[in-house]
């Protein structure tokens, strides 16, 4: 099948399983040929192109480019201020990166897509995992280091305000940019404050708070209510049940289903 297309306003990821896909950009005729096992992307900056799909089976995933900017700000060591992240290449930075990315896509396809009416925080966690995988797989412009001013402003009062905001809004889909804006500091300052005073990151602290809420829900679940560990974990944005169970056991000394069963008994 041959086709002509204009540039997209979204990031478009393509993972090829069988057959082949050829893409040719205008006006210079730059061409890409992709086969089984290849992953590549179209970005909002792409030019009009022609394509040929040859007896191919593939997956397409599309998302808003702003998601990359949001997630880039939350990756430890990047601390990027709000602003557009630019994808500077259409292929993985290495074969290993491409392999890990395909595993992430398969995980999301098998565990999140089949869930009917998923909890909002579960959707958010899945979207952020996808965007973080894109940033770790494809070349991009997201990079920044803390400045002297950021380190100077990372004092205990900044941390206290940030902690209060997180505690009050843990049930919402908040990002590190939202927290920084709420306490009137830069993202890098916020990250410095959490590293300096709590030896963690804002998003790890948020995860810890959500874990405590999940613990409270397990304890308060009424016998016969039908509450499950999976549903409670999803309500608080825990995408991977195995990791949720491990984190819960590390924090509370037992597995989450043991808390639920003990309470029911």
Q: Are residues 217 and 245 in the same domain?
A: yes
Q: Are residues 215 and 245 in the same domain?
A: yes
Q: Are residues 79 and 115 in the same domain?
A: yes
Q: Are residues 104 and 165 in the same domain?
A: no
Q: Which residue has the higher pLDDT, 2 or 153?
A: 2
Q: Are residues 77 and 132 in the same domain?
A: yes
Among residues 40, 63, 86, the one where a domain terminates is: 63
Among residues 38, 63, 88, the one where a domain terminates is: 63
Tell me the CATH number at 257: 1.10.10.60
Q: What is the model's pLDDT at position 85?
A: 84
Domain assignment present for residue 142? The answer is no
The model's pLDDT over 38-79, given as tens digits with 9 standing for 90+, comes to: 999 888 766 788 889 999 999 899 999 889 988 887 765 554
Residue 20: is its pLDDT beyond 60?
yes
Q: What is the model's pLDDT at position 207?
A: 93
In whole angstroms, give the CA distance from residue 206 to residue 170.
7
User: Mean pLDDT over all residues of the chain?
Assistant: 86
Q: Which residue has the higher pLDDT, 158 or 188?
A: 158
The model's pLDDT over 233-265, given as tens digits with 9 standing for 90+, comes to: 999 999 888 889 999 999 999 999 999 886 554
Q: Are residues 11 and 58 in the same domain?
A: yes
Q: Are residues 132 and 79 in the same domain?
A: yes
Domain assignment present for residue 143? The answer is no
Looking at the structure of the chain, the number of domains it has is 4
Structural domain that includes position 113: 66-137
Q: Which residue has the higher pLDDT, 155 or 237?
A: 237
Q: Are residues 251 and 219 in the same domain?
A: yes
Helix (H) or strand (E) run with residue 1 in it: none
Confidence tier at 166 by pLDDT (50, 70, 90):
very high
Q: Are residues 14 and 45 in the same domain?
A: yes
Residue 18: is its pLDDT beyond 90?
yes
Among residues 166, 183, 205, the one where a domain terminates is: 205
């Amino acid at each position: 099948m041959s086709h002509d297309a204009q540039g997209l306003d979204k990031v478009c990821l393509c993972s090829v399983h069988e057959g082949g896909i050829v893409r040719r950009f205008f006006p210079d005729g730059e061409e890409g040929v992709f086969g089984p096992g290849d992953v590549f992307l179209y970005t909002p900056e792409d030019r009009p192109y022609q394509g040929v799909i040859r007896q191919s089976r593939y997956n397409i995933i599309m998302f808003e480019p702003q998601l990359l900017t949001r997630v880039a700000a939350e990756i430890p060591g990047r601390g990027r201020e709000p602003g557009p992240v630019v994808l500077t290449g259409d292929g993985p930075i290495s074969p290993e990166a491409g392999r890990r990315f395909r595993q992430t896509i398969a995980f999301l396809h098998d565990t999140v897509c089949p869930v009917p009416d998923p909890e909002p925080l579960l959707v958010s966690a899945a979207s952020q995992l996808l965007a973080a995988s894109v940033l770790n797989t494809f070349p991009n412009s997201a990079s920044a280091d803390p400045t002297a001013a950021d380190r100077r402003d990372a004092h205990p009062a900044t941390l206290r305000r940030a902690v209060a905001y997180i505690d009050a809004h843990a049930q919402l889909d908040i990002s590190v940019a939202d927290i920084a804006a709420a306490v009137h500091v830069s993202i890098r300052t916020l990250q410095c404050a959490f590293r300096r005073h709590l030896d963690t990151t804002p998003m790890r602290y948020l995860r810890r708070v959500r874990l405590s809420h999940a613990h409270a829900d397990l304890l308060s679940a009424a016998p016969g209510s039908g509450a499950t560990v999976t549903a409670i974990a999803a309500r608080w944005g825990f995408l991977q049940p195995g990791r949720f169970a491990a984190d819960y056991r590390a924090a509370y000394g037992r597995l989450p289903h043991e808390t639920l069963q003990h309470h029911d008994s």
